Structure 1
C-alpha cells in the first residue's frame, strides 16, 4: 500500500483525521492512511471507530453500503448490529485502528504500539505524519478568566502538560511532519510562570523540528501561527493555533494556506429542512401539541413592548404562518448547496440527513430565541442584553448592571447566528445550551441542531455522531473543521512529494 501512514492523537470524533483521509491523488486513491487514532472519551471513540469502518467499507466496495445508510437514517440497536456484521474484516480493521485509550505523561505504551504499527505498515518512502492536539480547556482564555481565583488548581491541571504525550511520539518516533492544533489561548497561557507556547516551541526545536506557519512564510510573532478558518472556506470564524513541524534533517519545503472567499452560514445550511423547537419536560402545561399557541402568545408579549414594536412585521409573519414540523427522520429537501459536492458527494441519490433533531427548550428561552432571531432579521445584527425587553432579561448576576446601563461581560449570552455571515466559533459549550447558537429563522425558534453545527464544521452529511445529543454537540464543538484539515493535508502531501488533488468544495458532484 502506497499511502502515507498517519497517527492521530487526541482524535475526538476525527475531524483532523477525516481531512487527511479525504485527500486523494489524480486517480482517486487516498494519499494518507490512518493506522492508529487515539481518543479516551467512549462516545467520541464510537464516532471515530464508526468513521474508520465507513472508510474501510468505502475503500473495499467503492460506495456506501445500504447497511450504513439504513443505520444513520435510523440508528437503532438492530440496524447497528446489521451494520457491524455486514463486513467483519472491515469492522475488525476499524476496531484496531481506533483505540479508546487515554494518553498519560510518562506512559509510553501507546508510543511502543505506534512503533510496531509503523514497522508493520512499511511505508515505501519511510515518511509518516503525526496529527492531533492536546485537550485545550486549560489554555482557554475564558476558562482561565473564570478560574483566576484557582491559580494553584490551574497550574496543577494535567491538561497543561498533555502536550508532552504528543512530544513523546515526536521525540521517539520522529515523524516526517506533525500537525498540532490548539486554542488561541495557548499563546498567552502560563505554566509555573513561563509561557506555554515558548515551552512547546523549545521542546519541538530540541527534538529536531522546524516549526512552520500555515499563514505566513516568514513568521515574526506568535500570532503568525493563528489560522482564521473563515479565510479558507470554512463557514465559521474559528481562530486556532496550528503548528506545522518539519523534521530538520529532511529539508522539506512547505507552503501556506491559500485564502478563499468567505462562506456564510446561510449558504451551507441551504437544503436542511426547517424544524421547530421542542418543549422541555419542565414546561408544565405546554407540549408540542400546543406549540403554535405558545409562540403566538409570546409574540403578543413582545409586541406589547417598545423594543418589540420595530419587529412587528417580522413577528406577524411568524404568527400568520404554519409552523414547521418536528421531524425525527430527516432528509434534505434540496441537495443544491454551495458545498453540495463536499457535503453530499458520497451519498449519491440518498437524501438521508442524520443528527438533525431540535433540542427541547424552556418556554422562557423560546421567548428569548423568538425575540433574538426577529431582532437579527430586522436589524442585521445580533441582539445584546441591552436590547431586550425588561421581562426577557434572564436571572443572571450581571443583569443588575444591564438595568443600570453599565457595561457587563457576556452581554451577548443569547446570540443569533446570521444567515449572511460565517458563524461564530462552534465550541464544546454548545453541548450545555443553545443560547449562543440561535437559528436565524424566527419561524423555527430554536438553537442549531447537531447536523447544522457539523456543517459549520464542514463534516460531510454521511458523518454520523454517536452517543446522546449532549455528547454529539460536544464532539462537534471540539473538532477541527474537516475542510481546513483537508487543505492542511494538501500542504503536507506536497511537502512529501505526493501527487495530491485538493478538492474544491464548490465544484459540482
Structure 2
C-alpha cells in the first residue's frame, strides 16, 4: 500500500498503481491519452478489477490526523499476516520542520515554539507503523537538515530518531542500521561499523542522477536477519552506481519551447520581439568581468542574438516529439525514454515577465562563459530587479541557471513558485524548466504522468526521491536480504533499470 495526503499526488500514485497491475504491459489507451490523441479513459469502467486493486493500494490519508484504528491498523495487520514477515516499509516523515528553509520561516513567526510544533515529532508515526508492521527491513528518507534540527537548541532530533529506529526504547523491535554511502566502508578500517549521523547522507549525483540532491536515508535490517551477516558483507554491498550524468545529457534533444508572456498578450510574434530586444540589450552591456571574459561574453551574446534573428520558425509553448541527447548513457536513456511515446507529457512552459527574459538570457550566456551561474552581484545594474533587498545578499541566487555540463542543483518544491532558480541552460529558449524537464533531472521515466495543475505537478516532482536512486536502493536492499551469508562479502547489487515500476 502507499499513503499520500495531497490530493493531486494521490491521483498520480493511484494511476501509477493501476498501470502496475498490468505487469509492464501498459494498456494502449494510456499511450493514446498521454500522446494527446484521446481524453483520459474511464479506467474504472474499462478495467474494474485493476482499478479496484489500485484504489486498495493507493490511499489518500494524512498520517497523524485520522485515528489509525479506523482503517490503517487493520490494513497493516493484514499485510503483516499475508506476508509472513517478508515486507519492507519505505517512507519518511514530513520535512518542513527539518529543512533549512522551513526552519528559517519558523524563526520568523512570532511566538513560534519548536517544542509545540508537532511536525518535529511526526516521525513517531513512522515508528508506530514500524512496530505494527514488524517488517524485515525499512528505508527512511528525509532532508539533510534533519541531522542538525533540534527542538530545544541542544538535543538533536536525529539522535532520537536513530535510537527509536534501532529499537532502543521500551518494547521496540531491534534493527541493524545501515548507511548506504560508499564512504561508510571506511569505518571498517577504524574497527567499527556503527554508522555516524553523517554516514546516512546519500548523494544522488553519485548514483547516475543528473542532480546534486543530498538526502538522509537510513536502512534498517531486522536484528534476526542481520545477526549472521558480517560487517564486511554489509560494507561491501554498499557500492556506487558509478555513473556520473549531466543536465545536458537529459535535456538536450528535447523539443525546444518558448516561454509565455505573463503581463501582456501572449503570442509568438510578441515573444519574438521582446526576446530579440532583450538579447540586443544584453549583448551591449558592460559586466564586471575581466577584459578577456567581457569580450567572450559580448561575442557569445551577439552570436545568440544573430542566430535568434535568423530563426524562421519559432518553437511553441508545447513541443511535439521526444528526444534526448546523443551522449546520454545508454542505461539512463533506456530508463527515461519510451518508444511508444510520440510526445512528452507535462512538457509545457510557464509564463514570464518580459523583463525577466533579459535576465534569463544574461544568466545563460554568463554561465557558458564563466562556468557558473551568476550571483546577484554579477548582474549589471541595468538588469537589477526592483527589489529593496536585491543587494542585501539575501537574494544572491535569485536567478540561477542550470549548467549543462554538470548535475543540476536540488530540484525542490519551490520550483512551483517561480522559475527563477531553474533557468534552462539554452540561451535561445529564454525560459525556466518545464515539469517534464524537472522530472528528467529527477529521473522520472518519460511515461510517468503527473496529475493536477502545473503548480501541483511541479510540487510533486520537487518533493520526490529520484526514482533511479530509489531503484538502486531497492537493489542494494534486495541483495542484503537474499545474500548467502557464507558468500555475502563477494556479492554486489547490480542496478536493474526498469521504467514500469
TM-score, normalised with respect to structure 2: 0.85
| Distance change (3 Å), C-alpha of 1:470 and 1:105 | closer
| Distance change (3 Å), C-alpha of 1:143 and 1:485 | same
Among 11, 30, 37, the alignment partner of 1:68 is 30
Matched, 1:315 2:305: yes
Q: Which has the higher contact order (CA 8 A, sep 6+)?
A: 1
Show the counterpart of 1:276. Answer: 258
Shift of 1:202: 1.5
In the alignment of these two chains, the number of paired residues is: 455
Matched, 1:418 2:403: yes
| Distance change (3 Å), C-alpha of 1:335 and 1:501 | farther
| Distance change (3 Å), C-alpha of 1:348 and 1:335 | farther
User: Counterparts in 2 of 1:239-388, with a 5 A limit?
Assistant: 239-251=214-226, 253=229, 254=234, 255-280=237-262, 282-283=263-264, 287-307=267-287, 309=298, 311-322=301-312, 324-328=314-318, 330-333=320-323, 337-338=328-329, 339-344=332-337, 347-388=338-379
| Distance change (3 Å), C-alpha of 1:352 and 1:501 | farther
**Alignment partners' CA distance in 2, 1:65 and 1:335:** 28
TM-score, normalised with respect to structure 1: 0.83
Matched, 1:55 2:20: yes
**Alignment partners' CA distance in 1, 2:54 and 2:497:** 27
| Distance change (3 Å), C-alpha of 1:73 and 1:156 | farther
Shift of 1:132: 0.6
User: Counterparts in 2 of 1:187-226, with a 5 A limit?
Assistant: 187-193=147-153, 194-205=155-166, 206=168, 207=172, 208-215=174-181, 216-217=184-185, 218=193, 220-226=195-201
User: Counterparts in 2 of 1:159-238, with a 5 A limit?
Assistant: 159-193=119-153, 194-205=155-166, 206=168, 207=172, 208-215=174-181, 216-217=184-185, 218=193, 220-238=195-213
| Distance change (3 Å), C-alpha of 1:365 and 1:233 | same
Query: What CA deviation, in whole Å up to 9, does each residue of 1:175-203 have, x standing for no partner?
Result: 11110000000000012342110111111
Shift of 1:163: 0.7
Show the counterpart of 1:8. Answer: none
Show the counterpart of 1:29. Answer: none
**Alignment partners' CA distance in 1, 2:119 and 2:44:** 34
Show the counterpart of 1:409. Answer: 394
Show the counterpart of 1:138. Answer: 97
Task: Kindly indicate whether the alpha-carbon contact (under 8 Å) linking 1:302 and 1:389 is maintained by their aligned counterparts in 2.
Answer: no
| Distance change (3 Å), C-alpha of 1:118 and 1:40 | same
Secondary structure, aligned partner of 2:93: coil
Shift of 1:506: 11
Query: What CA deviation, in whole Å up to 9, does each residue of 1:360-419 have, x standing for no partner?
Result: 111111121111112112222211111112121122232244xxxxxx133121011011
Among 466, 476, 489, the alignment partner of 1:481 is 466
| Distance change (3 Å), C-alpha of 1:420 and 1:388 | same
Secondary structure, aligned partner of 1:99: strand
User: Counterparts in 2 of 1:384-395, with a 5 A limit?
Assistant: 384-395=375-386
Task: Kindly indicate whether the alpha-carbon contact (under 8 Å) linking 1:274 and 1:324 is maintained by their aligned counterparts in 2.
Answer: no
Secondary structure, aligned partner of 2:25: coil
Structure 1 unpaired stretches of 5+: 1-35, 402-407
Matched, 1:95 2:55: yes
Task: Kindly indicate whether the alpha-carbon contact (under 8 Å) linking 2:73 and 2:132 is maintained by their aligned counterparts in 1.
Answer: no
Structure 1 stretches (4+) deviating beyond 6 angstroms?
A: 498-501
| Distance change (3 Å), C-alpha of 1:329 and 1:322 | closer
| Distance change (3 Å), C-alpha of 1:257 and 1:395 | farther
| Distance change (3 Å), C-alpha of 1:329 and 1:386 | closer
**Alignment partners' CA distance in 1, 2:45 and 2:356:** 44
Secondary structure, aligned partner of 1:274: coil
**Alignment partners' CA distance in 1, 2:44 and 2:352:** 35
Shift of 1:261: 3.1
Shift of 1:271: 3.1
Q: 153-162 vs 423-432, which deviates more?
A: 153-162
**Alignment partners' CA distance in 2, 1:212 and 1:501:** 15
Task: Kindly indicate whether the alpha-carbon contact (under 8 Å) linking 2:373 and 2:400 is maintained by their aligned counterparts in 1.
Answer: yes
Task: Kindly indicate whether the alpha-carbon contact (under 8 Å) linking 2:249 and 2:325 is maintained by their aligned counterparts in 1.
Answer: no
Query: What CA deviation, in whole Å up to 9, does each residue of 1:66-86 have, x standing for no partner?
Result: 11111222397xx22344433
